[in-house]
Amino acid sequence: MSQTFDYENLFDFVLHVFLQMGCSEEHAHLATEVLLSADLRGVDSHGVARLGGYIRLWEAGRINATPTIKIIYETPSTAVVDGDAGLGLVVAPFAMQVAIEKAEKAGTGWVSVKNSNHFGIAGYHAMMALPRQMIGMAMTNASALVAPTFSVERMLGTNPIAVAIPANNEPAFVADFATTTASNGKLEILQRKNQEAPEGWVQDAEGHTTTDANALKSGGAMLPLGGDREHGSHKGYALGSIVDIFSAVLSGASYGPWAPPFPAYVPMPENLPGEGLGHFLGAMRVDAFRPAADFTENMDNWIKRFKAAKPAAGQERVLIPGDPEREMEAIRRKEGIPLFESVVSDLKGVGDKMGVLFRG
């Protein structure tokens, strides 16, 4: 059961919630735009469904609504940003802007971020590079839910990677994916519907693959992309580790099993090795490699060639990364954003708590 809401109405509601938290006008607008970009693009797990979670972290004193976000270390092509425990939704765009400015001058810019929080969808930040004719990259570490290959311990988050690459007449290539077999959002949908998970998504407390979508509630763990060793889970484990190290070890954030948990009711791990959550943002000017027109013309050709690849039996077409999300955004801007009843009721609760009317 779901109800549909206009983007503008949701925007207005979320904006006022962030303002009531004490965010500045600028931060509240930005945080709202980033959060809702997930709902528009169909990544429902990372949009308004998480607003209540952010509020609870703020109530628990883990999110600072009025952060002083700043560069604390830099070279011509790199920087480390301290997010001052602010919303990742505003810290990450700040850091991406630094990466873009570095890239303007040095060809590329790479920014590692510490002392931040959940930053919404990685794709938003990577896509900031596109209008500047740059390739954008964004990654983040996250609450530990994933067991390394051969292990039963939750050591890594779903640690997503986003890469946005501009084209000319074709829409941009935008990959944005968790380094696990399936995202936590997809698992949550199965839990809500009381359905089983495909094999290879989660394992039980002994490390055996299981179809129990609720396995994490009894000591289980999510699995790295690949699922098991025979199908390359050591590659997903390596990818998740690289994201963790670039985001948190390079910056001085808390890494691996020490990453701050998103649910406010989960106590912070002890003996933290760093500060807050970490992100890694990158920007590469296309014309730092070859004339931008040559590159984007080749990208158009790349995209057209891959779209024209022969479909498998029973398939209509081959997709370019970013196609489904872009098509979803076009639909939802026109027809509205559907929200599950449980999300609507959670948002009403947030509204009551923060003194903002949620209009259905």
- Tokens representing 65? 């609504």
How far apart (Å, rounded) are the C-alpha atoms in residues 107 and 320? 27
Give residues 109-138 in contact with a second copy (rule: CB under 8 A). 110, 112
Q: Tokens 């809500």 belong to which residue? A: 192
Give residues 258-287 in contact with a second copy (rule: CB under 8 A). 273-274, 284-286
Which one of 4-12, 51-59, 120-128, 239-247 is the stretch in contact with a second copy (CB under 8 A)? 239-247
Binding mask 159-198 for a second copy (x = CB under 8 A): ----x-x-------x-x-xxxxxx---------------x
Min separation Cβ 48 and a second copy, Å = 25
Q: Which of 37, 117, 149, 210 forms a contact with a second copy (CB under 8 A)? A: 149
Angle CA 337–339–341, to nearest 5: 155
Give residues 321-340 in contact with a second copy (rule: CB under 8 A). 321
Cβ neighbours of residue 189 under 8 Å, at least 6 residues apart?
45
How far apart (Å, rounded) are the C-alpha atoms in residues 315 and 318? 8
Q: Does 252 bind a second copy (CB under 8 A)?
A: yes
> Residue 80: beta bridge partners?
73, 112
Q: Does 32 bind a second copy (CB under 8 A)?
A: no
User: To which H or E segment does residue 325 belong?
Assistant: helix 323-335
Q: Does 302 bind a second copy (CB under 8 A)?
A: yes
- Tokens representing 230? 């025979």
Give residues 200-229 in contact with a second copy (rule: CB under 8 A). 200-201, 203, 206-208, 225-227
Q: Does 292 bind a second copy (CB under 8 A)?
A: no
- Tokens representing 308? 């024209």
Long-range contacts of 329-335, Cβ-Cβ distance < 8 Å, separation of 24 or more: 329/40, 329/41, 329/42, 332/7, 332/39, 332/40, 332/42, 333/7, 333/40, 335/4
| Neighbouring C-beta atoms of residue 69, cutoff 10 Å | 23
Q: Which of 8, 22, 76, 333 forms a contact with a second copy (CB under 8 A)? A: 76
CB 140 within 8 A of CB 243: yes
Min separation Cβ 310 and a second copy, Å = 4
Min separation Cβ 299 and a second copy, Å = 6
Min separation Cβ 53 and a second copy, Å = 25
Q: Which of 56, 235, 326, 353 forms a contact with a second copy (CB under 8 A)? A: 235
Min separation Cβ 61 and a second copy, Å = 26
Q: Does 75 bind a second copy (CB under 8 A)?
A: yes
